[in-house]
Amino acid sequence: MNRLKVDGKSVVAIACAHDPEILCLLNNSSEYFWNTGLNSWTIPDHQEYISKAIAQLSAIGYVDYRGIKKDVKQQKESLVSLNSEKHEDLGIQIGTFRNFLSSRRYSSNTVKTYTEALRVFIRFMGEKKPEEWHLADIIRFNNEYILKNGHSVSYQNQMVNAVKLFLKVVENRHIAVEEIHRPRPEHRLPNVLSKAEVKAILQALSNLKHRCMLSLIYSCGLRRGELLSLKPVDIDSKRNLVHIRLGKGKKDRVVPLSGRILEMLREYYVAYKPQRWLFEGQKSGQPYDERSLSEVLKQARQKAGITKPVTLHWLRHSYATHLLESGTDLRYIQELLGHKHSKTTEIYTHVSTQSLQRIKSPFDDL
């Protein structure tokens, strides 16, 4: 790791071996950026990013961060290497936990989320070993870390679930987490764009690949990961279908493909000739970066003059809501989105304006 200046900004460059596990971590995390000019991965030069990167990479191999440490005292106080002799046992236990999750076929995102959650809890516990963890420690963690730092309800539940599962699998212990006061679930409505706003965003894209990616997310109601996992063979041009392989919940599904999108994809295929993935990054055979895709949407939104903080998932919400407003049965929308429960899909009835706009306010009769 070394500090460098890129376009006037300080970044930390990470040079690493072409190890599959390391590359998988770097490719699947939004924290890291590939810089072609430096031929290295980079992260912002902030202590939060640096500490997290060292913790993640130390669980896989040796990390040489001598090029960025300001002084030995600060480094010892703020950074913990799970590969040090002192934490060797914890590193083995985390590896055992990761292997359990993988063998149970948890998704790569879940494996990453749970193992990282466990590392955060370990750092919070300091010198206290897992066999010494008790219910009071989890309650203290919730109060002194989760609530103090303003983390979300879902993050809190992920942390508790990860620690509970770790203790059950690795330590063969049971902690009655049901005795912890769980936060009340939040019931937030999905954010939805109008058709005019979606059109403005898509028309603001001059790059063919970028326009294809965002158009496919909206026209098929895809999740970001589902789009980036598509392969050329998943586009069934004869039946006008898109095959989603092992989406959320390890489920396959098919969604109808717009004829206009199919023509756009044919033009894209001729121009870019993708090899392994339908949408590849700068390197052939590597999937397009998630963070870069979010940046594409951000630039298109700004160019279209839309001030709302639009995310990629807004396009999926908009697809479902627009289908409902055009008269599509809710059961079909559930299948198209890949929802396991109908209640998940019913939330779009609360944001559809078709019925609401027909309601006459009693104020108009005054």
Catalytically active residues, by annotation: 223, 248, 313, 316, 339, 348
Nearest alpha carbon to residue 115 among 164, 153, 162? 162
Where would I find the H helices in 304-360? 312-325, 330-337, 342-346, 353-356
Burial letters 22-44, b for 16+ CB under 10 A, else e: beebbebbeebbbeeeeebbbbe
In this structure, what is the dihedral angle of CA atoms 116, 246, 286, 61, given to the nearest 10 degrees? Answer: 30
Q: Which residues touch 195 (CB under 8 Å, ≥6 apart)?
A: 322
What spatial distance separates the first Cα and last Cα of the chain, rounded to whole Å? Answer: 70
Distance CA(12)–CA(65), nearest Å, equals 10
Whether the CB-CB separation of 304 and 193 falls below 8 Å is answered with no
Q: Which residues touch 41 (CB under 8 Å, ≥6 apart)?
A: 13, 14, 15, 16, 26, 32, 33, 34, 35
Distance CA(238)–CA(257), nearest Å, equals 10
